[in-house]
Amino acid sequence: FTGIAVAQLINQGSVKASDPLSKFVKEYPLDISQQVTVRHLLLHTSGIELDDSPGYRQELTGANSLGELLKLQLKYIDSLNENRRPHFKPLNKFDYSNEEYDLLGVIIERVTGMSYRKYIQKNILDPLRMRQTNFLADTTMFGYSHYKDLYKPTRWFTYRFQPDRSGSPSGGLYSTTSDLLKLFDGLQGKKLFHNGWLKTLASDTVTSSKTSFYGYGVEGLSVNYLSYGHNGGNVKGVSSEFRFFPELDLFIVILCNRVRSAPDVMFHLQKVMLRGD
């Protein structure tokens, strides 16, 4: 959703992929923000990654707005990537980071004058009539999930979902399979982009592994068949997969109540398609 939003602003001319972070986020240290561009943030190549900063992840749970997320980044910025702040240079290679997409959310707010959530509602959810999709209002949800072990069956029980924080530009939306089908149909049409979604989101990419590449919030995979999409669900008991196979003209969305299982189901389906069953 964040990649779609920024791509819309780029198409409108409000933002350029080459714009430096310093143009929009004046608070950020200039030695970083003058080098890092919107493109770096979109492709996860900036090197802004704070997960290895002691204490950052713990404080993240208490951040309930983009302003608070930004202040938290600034608080820990000196420990960036194991204290390489004094010698910072953009990584220029793929390293997935939620911090980058939270910064894109800040850019969206400052360019549009709307809150991030209001922008997504007005420019993506409402036009596509995605009535069953929204941001987590808080960090407490209920679900019937099987979560204790990643691959070893244990037992099913009701588990209180506790995401890191409420919905943000780096995650925390809930949806349904039917609503995600509306998103795919909307991407195929011209309600979100005039030039086609793959041309907009996946024409500028960076290699992320031997079999994958990453664009503006969309991942390309070349495993048996070329596909585009994304997965999600880093909280216990939740996983999802949203993927389009252009060669087969096939779209698949999987929502699963077991951690990290949706991608496994997707890879199984790819094997079945390859066999022609």
Q: How confident is the model at residue 136 (pLDDT cuts 50, 70, 90)?
A: confident
The answer to whether 44 and 95 have CB atoms below 8 angstroms apart is yes
pLDDT tens sequence across 187-241:
998 889 988 899 999 999 999 999 999 999 999 999 888 999 999 876 667 789 9
pLDDT tens sequence across 144-168:
565 555 545 555 555 555 555 567 8
**C-alpha pair distances (Å), 79 with each of 56, 143, 164, 204:** 10, 37, 21, 30
Residue 270 is predicted with a pLDDT of 81
pLDDT tens sequence across 32-54:
999 999 999 999 999 999 988 88
Q: How confident is the model at residue 24 (pLDDT cuts 50, 70, 90)?
A: very high
With a pLDDT cut of 70, the percent of the chain lying above it is: 86
Rounded to two decimals, the pTM is 0.91
Residue 163 is predicted with a pLDDT of 58
Return the amino acid letter for 250: L
The answer to whether 97 and 44 have CB atoms below 8 angstroms apart is yes
